[in-house]
Amino acid sequence: MVELKKESFKGRDFIALNDFTSEEILHMIDVAARLKSESKAGIPHHILQGKTLGMIFTKSSTRTRVSFEVGIYQLGGYGLFLSDRDIQIGRGEPIQDTARVLSRMVDGIMIRTFSHQEVVDLAKYCDKPVINGLTDYLHPTQILADMLTIKEHKEKIKGLKLVYIGDGNNVANSLLLGGTKVGMDVVIAAPQGYKPVPEIMALAAQNAEASGGSAAVFEDPLTAAEGADILYTDVWASMGQEEEAAVRRKAFAGYQINDTLLKAAKPDAIVLHCLPAHRGEEITEEILEGPQSVVFDEAENRLHAHKAIMSLIM
C-alpha cells in the first residue's frame, strides 16, 4: 500500500500546477508511479474507500472520463458522471448553487469545461476539493501524466528540454507552468497570433528563475526543436474551435512533428501527444506509430496521475 504525505495536500483544490511547489509536484508524480506499480502487481489500494467523486462534464471526453471513473473505483470509491444535460447547470443554475449542493453530497468534484473562471468559482463556493479536468486556459491533470511518462522514459525530469509545437493553448500553458516548476527547459514553437499569453510567460519565467529551468517561444519550429529531449504537440483546432479549422490549418502549416523535425531533436528524443490526434496534420502517422512515440504510455498514465491527485487531496 502506498504511503502518502497528506499534510500539505488534504482538502486542497487541484486547479493549476502553479498552485503547488516543485516538491509537491514531484511527490504527486512519485505517488502516481507507485500506484501504477501496485496496479500492475495486482495489489489493491482502496485509499478512498467509500468516497464519492462528482464528475461534471460540459466538454466531452475519452481519457478524462475513463481515467477518473476507473481511478476512483480502483481507489475504493465511486464516480458519478454528471453531464451538463443531466444536471441543472446545463439549464442555467448558477455555479455557486451547484457547488454548495454537491459539497453536501460528494467528497470531491472533477470538472471539465470551457471557462476557467467556472472552475475558479466552483472551488470558491465548494468546501470539498475541486479538480480541474480541463478548461480552455489550463489542462494540469494532463501535464502530471506527461511528467510521469517523461520520468519513466528519461529517468529524470529536471534539466530536460521539452519542445511543444503548435497552438499556444491550454496544454502549452500548463506545460510552461508545470515544466518550469520542476526545472525543465520548456520551448513553445507557435505562429504569430497563437503564442501563449504574456501572463503565462511571466509566471513561467518566475518559476524558471527559482528552479533553474527556462521558458522560451519561437516561431520557427525547426530552430525550437534543435537538441530537444521531448517533442510534444496537440491538435491545431481544439474542441469549440471547429469553425476556425480552415484558418488554423493555414496558420499551422509547417508546425508538424515529422521526420525533419525529429531529426533536429536528440537521437533518443521521445514524442508526446495528449490525444486525440489528427494524423497527417500536427503529427505524421509514421511518427505517431514510430519507435520514439510514447503517446499511448502517456494516455495510460492519465489513469495513474489522476489516482495520485485524488488520493492526496481527497
Give catalytic residue positions. 112, 139, 142, 234, 274, 302
Q: Is 192 one of the annotated binding-site residues? A: no
Q: Is 185 one of the annotated binding-site residues? A: no
Peptide bond just before 221 cis, omega within 30 deg: no
> Under DSSP, is residue 75 helix (H, G, I), strand (E, B) or coil?
coil
| Nearest Cα residue to 311 out of 33, 47, 12 | 47
Q: Is 126 one of the annotated binding-site residues? A: no
Q: Is 1 one of the annotated binding-site residues? A: no
Q: Is 88 one of the annotated binding-site residues? A: yes
Q: Is-contact 269 262, C-beta < 8 A?
A: yes
Distance, CA of 14 to CA of 141 (rounded, Å): 8
Q: Which spans in 16-78 are helix H?
A: 22-40, 63-74
Q: Is 113 one of the annotated binding-site residues? A: no
Identity of residue 197: V
Tell me, what DSSP letter sits at residue 87? S
Distance, CA of 85 to CA of 91 (rounded, Å): 8
Set of cell numbers at residue 109: 468534484
Q: Is 83 one of the annotated binding-site residues? A: no
Q: Is 170 one of the annotated binding-site residues? A: yes
| Cell 470558491 -> residue | 124
Q: Is 304 one of the annotated binding-site residues? A: no
Q: Is 302 one of the annotated binding-site residues? A: yes
Binding residues for L-ornithine: 170, 234, 238-239
Binding residues: 61-64, 88, 112, 139-142, 170, 234, 238-239, 274-275, 302
